[in-house]
Amino acid sequence: MRFVDEYRDAGTARALSARIAELCEPGRAYAFMEVCGGHTHTIYKHGLEDHLPPAVSLVHGPGCPVCVIPMGRVDDAMHIARQDDVIMTSFGDMMRVPGSHGSFFDANAEGTDIRMVYSPLDSLKIARANPDRQVVFMAIGFETTTPSTALTVRRAAAEGLTNFSIFCNHITIVPALRAILDSPDVRIDGFVGPGHVSTVIGCRPYDFIPRDYGRPLVVSGFEPLDILQSIHKLLRQLRDRRCEVENQYTRVVAAEGNPVALAVIDEVLEPRPDFEWRGLGRIPWSAMRVRERYAAFDAERIFAPPGARVEDPKACQCGEVLTGVIKPWECKVFGTGCTPETPIGACMVSPEGACAAYYNFGRARHRATEPAKEMSRA
């Protein structure tokens, strides 16, 4: 295949769907977690659940970095942004994430200077253009976006910039997967593994999942046929009584990942002893911080935010959605008090959030098909 429409061919999808149904054992139900929010978006946008037999259900995982950032970290960012002569910069999907006192957009309306950027390098341009102000980049994301942040810090150091720093909220996927597998509430038969993260870290870091937990994982691309083929591979492993890490996304992901990207991350950043995740609590060694060598570019050292822990609103069930305990539409405020225009929880903010993806693409399909699938599973 060479063109994107080939990865969306309806005839091939129907053929894969039939092969998936053939692999299902009579009387058995299967639950697979798609780890990445990009997969969740594709599943709802293209109606992939309609191509799956009733015995196969998909569980939405914590692979949306905006969705798992706790409210306390948003409040800390607000604390930094409200300091004198500070310009905060952020990716667009962070701008509407609610803290306990509103979002970045709300803070802007009150006069705080928070600007949307498309790359951390845009923040460097702002720092060069405003030498009398401190520019702080809200660094967020899994290993996919971490290399660009690390490279930006390295460039700022090489240029001798003294008015640029990062508020580091980069997180890592492997400790989160381990925390999910250790949870007594989660029943998962296998994982549709993250594609973009794996372009950086490769496939080998997932070896602990089949070795220690007896679950298969298939690293998947993001087109509809990628995901269907990954589910087929998972079912084939279960049928054959195999348990291993497979790479469906071979056109992009190498087993060893990207050594250059990993090297620059290791140079600039180091693991934190622990970090709070929305819905998962504090997970040891699950996030990154700036190394001592680059302390001059660490906003946490410079501005010393309070670091208070803030509880989610009681009506919000993002934590249960992120761990696959409930589906988005089972949240009490989904589609009523919580919408993309007026989000209560972070899962409704990012396009990769399960709630936002389902709100935009899945509501009509759910009303028509989900009761029949639930009766069949029962």
Q: Which helix (H) or strand (E) holds 174?
A: helix 173-182
pLDDT recorded at residue 364? 46
- Residues 6 or more apart from 16 whose CB is under 8 A from it? 51, 225, 228, 229, 232
Q: Average pLDDT over the chain, rounded to whole?
A: 91
Q: What's the token pair of residue 290? A: 């700036």
pLDDT recorded at residue 349? 80
DSSP-assigned beta bridge partners for residue 58: 32
Q: What is the largest CA-CA distance in the chain?
A: 69
Q: What percent of the chain has pLDDT over 90?
A: 69
DSSP state string for 289-317: EE-GGGGGGBHHHHH-------PPPTT--
The total of other beta-carbon atoms located within 10 Å of residue 261's CB is 19
pLDDT recorded at residue 373? 46
pLDDT recorded at residue 252? 95
Interstrand relation of 30-36 and 190-193 (parallel, antiparallel or unpaired): parallel
Q: Which pLDDT tens digit goes with each residue over 259-268?
A: 999 999 999 9
Distance between CA atoms of residues 225 and 48, nearest Å: 9
Distance between CA atoms of residues 287 and 285, nearest Å: 6
Q: Which pLDDT tens digit goes with each residue over 277-329?
A: 987 889 999 999 999 999 999 999 999 999 988 887 888 888 788 777 788 88
Residue 54 near residue 373, CB atoms below 8 Å = yes
Tell me the average pLDDT across 241-257.
97
Q: Which pLDDT tens digit goes with each residue over 327-353?
A: 888 898 998 888 888 888 878 887 778
Given a cut of 60, is residue 57 above it in pLDDT? yes
Given a cut of 80, is residue 375 above it in pLDDT? no
Distance between CA atoms of residues 191 and 231, nearest Å: 9
pLDDT recorded at residue 371? 44
Q: Which pLDDT tens digit goes with each residue over 358-370?
A: 888 865 455 444 5
Q: Which pLDDT tens digit goes with each residue over 8-53?
A: 999 999 999 999 999 999 999 999 999 998 999 899 889 999 899 9
Distance between CA atoms of residues 251 and 67, nearest Å: 28
Q: What's the token pair of residue 231? A: 């589910």
Confidence at 377, pLDDT banded by 50, 70, 90: very low
Terminal CA-to-CA distance of the chain, rounded, Å?
Answer: 39
Q: Domains in the chain and their CATH numbers? A: 5-66+173-247 (3.40.50.11750), 71-171+257-303 (3.40.50.11740)
